Amino acid sequence: MNWYSGLNLIAQGLRGHRGWEPAWRSATPKPRYDVIIVGGGGHGLATAYYLARNHGVTNVAVIEKGWIGGGNSGRNTTVIRSNYYYRESADLYEFSLKLYERLARELNYNIMFSQRGMIVTAHSRHDMELSARWAGAMRRNGVDTDMLDVSEIADRVPALNVSPRARFPVVGGFVQKRAGTARHDAVVWGYARAASALGVDIVEGCEVKGFVRSPSGSVVGIETSMGRIVADKVGMAVAGHSSVLAGMAGFRLPVTSYALQAFVSEPLKPALDTVVLSLATGMYISQSDKGGLVIGGGLDRYSSYAQRGNAPVIRDVVGSVAEQFPPFRRVRLLRHWAGIVDVVPDSSPVIGETPVPGLYLNCGWGTGGFKAIPVGGWTLAHHIATGTPHPVARPFQLERFKTGALIDEAAASGIAH
């Protein structure tokens, strides 16, 4: 593996850049592994990486139906934040944010994590009360945040229409300064490269067709389009397709799959140097390093496995941008797409065991899985390697839907879940 550094870049440049190797080995599956991870997105690759790095389990394969970074990992809006309401969520997402803060150095891969802050704007007295309650909860959970008044928001986001005569007048808000954005492709490529260097096999273009079961019923491998692969343990991190895979293993999940749309505009000169989420419209926006405005909003409100969005949501989201950011009204969209997200009733993830022995699960991140890639991988790797939940993932077991110990972020925090 090439080490990425300024010196190496110059050295390679002098040799015409002919010495670079592929970032990860393209593997064909061996007949047997200690652990197989189904799903080569961020969460699956991070799980494989931390299995190897934290637990010394290197006989691992990541099985991906399409290609690395071709699913939700390449379809999200790249926001990283930990502004959640409940302590359990704050511990989980803060753990993730802290891993992100040192991820580029650890992976030797520039993930372009830019802690440009995220501002949540309030548009009514009720929004302000919600914001104060939300910010207060964050502080209680040890996550730093500041309330903002209108003039502070206007200074920070000049393009935002804060006028009292606006359709959505801004009355205040709050900011998490350590939130930000990262290059989503770089996160998956970085994890794939680092995992591959530790001996993990990354198999692309290999679809799982079913599970191999022992006489006692536990999962001891997978049937794939490339044949049978045996393993001691199997983990799955397949987001919107979790119910499909669970169906192959004979159980159901509390998951509904929806399409979540995102949009990117033509490149502009720097115009927006933070992330903004409006409580009035649920629209959120940031500007990428290439200059494109990256825009998201709410879900398409019916279940879907089609990776394309519907027209009413496009109208709502684009209408919100035009209304709230007048300078962006005549900006043209360059691309628009949808990813299939796995929404659970309490909008909190599931990380841990399934009803079938030998099969482990990472799902339920819904609309917010990108920010949680490091912690999702770290905690699932811990559970697979040690057989017990990681402390920060303990509240996020599938069992909670039976015991009733839900962590209801959907109702608590007003975020666009």
Partner 1 sequence: MLLITCPWCGPRDEIEFRWGGESHIRRPTLQSSPQDEEWADYLFYRKNPKGLHRERWVHEAGCGQWFNIARDTVSHEIVEVYRMGEAHGQAERGKRP
Copy the structure tokens of residue 147: 């309330």
Q: Tell me the C-alpha distance between 220 and 227, whole Å.
A: 14
Copy the structure tokens of residue 43: 């969460």
Cβ closest to partner 1, residue 306 vs residue 334? 306
Reduce the DSSP state of residue 99 to 3 states and report it.
helix
Cβ closest to partner 1, residue 216 vs residue 403? 403
Cβ closest to partner 1, residue 62 vs residue 299? 299
Cβ closest to partner 1, residue 17 vs residue 252? 252
Chain residues in the site for partner 1 (CB under 8 A)? 241, 243-244, 247, 252-257, 301-306, 310-312, 344-345, 401-404
Q: Are strands 359-363 and 227-236 parallel, antiparallel or unpaired?
A: parallel
Q: How far are the Cα atoms of 97, 236, 331, 415 from residue 351, in angstroms, in the given order?
A: 18, 10, 40, 21
In angstroms, what is the minimal distance from the CB of 320 to partner 1? 16
In angstroms, what is the minimal distance from the CB of 355 to partner 1? 10
In angstroms, what is the minimal distance from the CB of 294 to partner 1? 25
Is 324:161 a contact under the CB 8 Å cutoff? yes
Q: In whole angstroms, what separates CA 157 from the centre of its chain?
A: 25
Q: Tell me the C-alpha distance between 377 and 154, whole Å.
A: 38
- Reference 31, options 241, 220, 307; nearest CA is 220
Q: In whole angstroms, what separates CA 269 from the centre of its chain?
A: 27
In angstroms, what is the minimal distance from the CB of 350 to partner 1? 11
Cβ closest to partner 1, residue 6 vs residue 404? 404
Q: Write phi, then psi, for 294 (nearest 5 degrees).
A: -105, 120
Neighbours of 303 (CB within 10 A): 15
Copy the structure tokens of residue 327: 């300078």
Q: What is the length of the chain?
A: 417
Cβ closest to partner 1, residue 83 vs residue 397? 397
* Burial class (CB within 10 angstroms; exposed 0-12, middle 13-18, buried 19+) of 44: buried
Q: Helix 87-101 to helix 373-386 angle, to the nearest 10 degrees?
A: 100
Q: Tell me the C-alpha distance between 178 and 142, whole Å.
A: 13
Cβ closest to partner 1, residue 136 vs residue 355? 355
In angstroms, what is the minimal distance from the CB of 166 to partner 1? 24
In angstroms, what is the minimal distance from the CB of 398 to partner 1? 10
In angstroms, what is the minimal distance from the CB of 310 to partner 1? 6
In angstroms, what is the minimal distance from the CB of 364 to partner 1? 11
Cβ closest to partner 1, residue 192 vs residue 246? 246
